[in-house]
Chain A
Amino acid sequence: MTITVKLFATLRAYHDKIFELAMPEASTVEAVVTHLELPANDIAIIMINGRGAKMDAKLEEGDVLALFPPVGGG
């Protein structure tokens, strides 16, 4: 399956800010993070298609996965 990955803030140091990625069917967020060799401990906010998700969430064809380090404002 193909998903779109979006990276933000410090995570942009590792890859482009947005790219498509081929992964095995039903891969988890964690599997994507491992595959991309991203620092898992630095990932604080996960969204799939704009909805909050956890590391164990399974992805589907066409999903947009957004990963953020801990950031905040107000």
Chain B
Amino acid sequence: MEQFIRVDMTTQQVTSGPLPEKYVGLGGRALTSNFVNDEVKPTCHALGKNNKLIFAPGLLSGTSAPNSGRLSVGAKSPLTGTIKECNTGGLFSQKMAKMGIKAFVVEGKPADDKFYIIKIDMNGVSIEEAPESILGGCGNYEAIQILNEKYGAKVGIALAGPAGEHRLPSANISFKDPESNIRSAGRGGLGAVMGSKNVKAIIIDDAGAKPVPVADPEKFRAAAKIFAKALLDHPVAGQGLAAYGTDVLVNILNEAGGLPAHNFTAGRIDYNDNFSGETMNALITERGGDGKVSHGCHPGCIIRCSQWYPDKKGKYITSGFEYETVWGLGADAGIKDFDAIAYIDRAMDDVGVDSIEIAVAVATAMEGGLIPWGDGEAVLQIVKDMAKPTPLARIIAGGCAIVGKLCGLYRVPVVKDQAIPAYDPRAVKGIGLTYATTPMGADHTAGYCISGNILKVGADIDPLKKDGQIEYARAMQIGTAAVDSTGMCLFVYFGIADNPGGYQALIDMINAQYGINLTAADVDKLGESVLKVERDFNKRAGFTNAHDRLPEFMEYEPIEPHNVVWDFTPEEIDEVYNF
């Protein structure tokens, strides 16, 4: 049976029942965003008792479909004040799906200040006090080891790290990955929401769960095979991401003049190969030891964009070492040493903060004089101090908008108070429309227009011109909202964007699993409906079209080397959501 579980932390009551009728047929982001829009008071304080945190596997999660193990987490964001859907790998999604749990909601707020662990297994849900050993500054890596020992090595774990306990606006929710390292539902401060409900950890144990029911197993297997082939045959999804990780983008964006540098004052640097994807591949290979060039963030991933980055002696430092993190610390904040960036990445995972928000906040703080430019050691210490947290650590973990305000700056790269990631919208105009208009605040993953603007996958649009960008940003956001509802990793897009058979196979898998007959048009409609629901929440929270704008400095500060400004008019930007 499809279960819908609620845990009320005010009363510690657990309610478990069938999935409400209106959510049948929804999964992942479609489910979390509809729920948040239905039940969370849009004007509530994100850290107060009226916010609700929802976890939902995607429509295909738990099946044998490749790359279907992504989880959606939703709530009102304490960083942006908007609705938020955050997406992560790890073990949670597939375990929830196998247990028949379509969604799990944490609501209310305890009257006491104790932290709790919620445990979900086949016997039900229990709430217990969190042991002292994982509280008060215990890092996520150690907490996962302690919880593995207590609950068994195979359980799934979601953690509010030290930053989440302190309800810092950039706190993420950290998830145990297949090797007990860390994946993150990173953006928008959902770890602070979890911390505000005094939930330190959620443990999920699927021992005894049966396989996910599939209405037409033969049709499902055939479609999954075509889908897997589409991914593996594509040079980006099948080979490029495994070899170089997402960090391969350092050199491409640098060459295109769209790599934001020195707090968004330049679009190119001359030390890019210090930390490019090519260098990452070479260093991991050369150092050996624990190093792995490719690694999957969840069981069943065949794209394998993650990696294990080792130190000079071959000892593991970090995994899931992403382009956005490397860019932010390397190009935007000027930290030129790759290992220094890796140790900061590890520290961010350990304390549980969004590596994009922190990296951009750090660069802004450097412009504001709070940290010396390029000082990796100072940044590492500040990130570690987020576990205490010291006043400076609190300020940086407050996010880029807060840092900019406190430093008296006008050059503050945020939209709806969320930091702009690794692609300068002046030089890559399509992504600027996504940053401006997505209900999430600046978020490249909400409509990845880099694909057609720079990578020439799925479209071929001049990144420096406005032509075709509005329609493209609209289509990418609609498609993304649909994919985010399936439990699929967004990178499947590379494999199916130019392969209609691969895209059809994705739809065929959903149809075979549920015994339904969705068409491509239905999938588009699903994506549109998700965006409309999210916009509706934001509107009722007080957001208008005037919030769908990039920071003003981008309109009058041209960026080198192409000497371009952001030149979409407000009317043009508003066209993106004209559907």
Contacts and interface: CB of A to CB of B under 8 A. Distances in A.
Interface string A9-29: 110100001000000000000
B55 interface: no
Contacts of A47: 255-256
A50 B244 contact: no
A45 B454 contact: yes
B249 interface: yes
Interface string B13-49: 0000000000000000000000000000000000000
B385 interface: no
A44 B490 CA distance: 21
Given A8-B252, A66-B255, A73 B235 contact: no
Interface residues of B, number: 42
Interface residues of A, number: 20
Interface stretch (B200-208, B328-336, B353-361, B444-452): B444-452
Interface in A33-72: 44-45, 47, 50-52, 66, 68-72
Interface string B421-452: 00000000000000000000000110010110
Contacts of A6: 255
Given A50-B257, A50-B562, A73 B278 contact: no
Interface in B192-248: 234-236, 240-241, 243-248
B251 interface: yes
Interface string B455-468: 11100101110000
A29 to B, nearest CB: 14
A72 B454 CA distance: 9
B67 to A, nearest CB: 14
A45 B462 contact: no
B323 interface: yes
Contact of A74 (B244, B246, B463): B246
Contacts of B278: 8-9, 12, 17
A6 B456 CA distance: 19
A8 to B, nearest CB: 5
B277 interface: yes
B491 interface: yes
Contacts of A70: 234-236, 240, 455, 457
Contact of B240 (A51, A52, A66, A69): A69
Contacts of B451: 72, 74
Nearest to B254: A50
A42 B255 CA distance: 18
Nearest to A73: B246
Contacts of A10: 243
A51 B323 CA distance: 21
Question: Could you say which of B244, B268, B448 has the most chain A C-beta atoms within 10 Å of its C-beta?
Answer: B244
B455 A45 contact: yes
A6 B272 CA distance: 13
Given A45-B456, A51-B464, A73 B247 contact: yes
B456 A73 contact: no
Nearest to A64: B255
A71 B244 contact: yes
Interface string B144-171: 0000000000000000000000000000
Contact of B457 (A17, A50, A72): A72
A9 B280 CA distance: 11
Contacts of A52: 256, 454, 456, 460, 462-463
B494 interface: yes
B458 to A, nearest CB: 10
Given A6-B255, A50-B257, A52-B462, A74 B236 contact: no
Interface of B: 234-236, 240-241, 243-249, 251-252, 255-257, 268, 273, 277-278, 305, 322-323, 444-445, 448, 450-451, 454-457, 460, 462-464, 490-491, 494, 561-562
4 tightest A-B CB contacts, nearest first: A73-B246, A70-B235, A71-B240, A72-B236
24 contacts: A6-B255, A8-B251, A9-B248, A9-B251, A17-B278, A44-B455, A45-B456, A50-B255, A50-B561, A68-B251, A68-B252, A70-B235, A70-B240, A70-B457, A71-B235, A71-B240, A71-B241, A71-B244, A71-B249, A72-B240, A73-B249, A73-B277, A74-B450, A74-B451
Given A17-B273, A72-B455, A72-B494, 13 more contacts: A8-B278, A45-B252, A52-B256, A52-B460, A69-B240, A71-B236, A72-B450, A72-B451, A72-B457, A73-B241, A73-B244, A73-B246, A74-B451
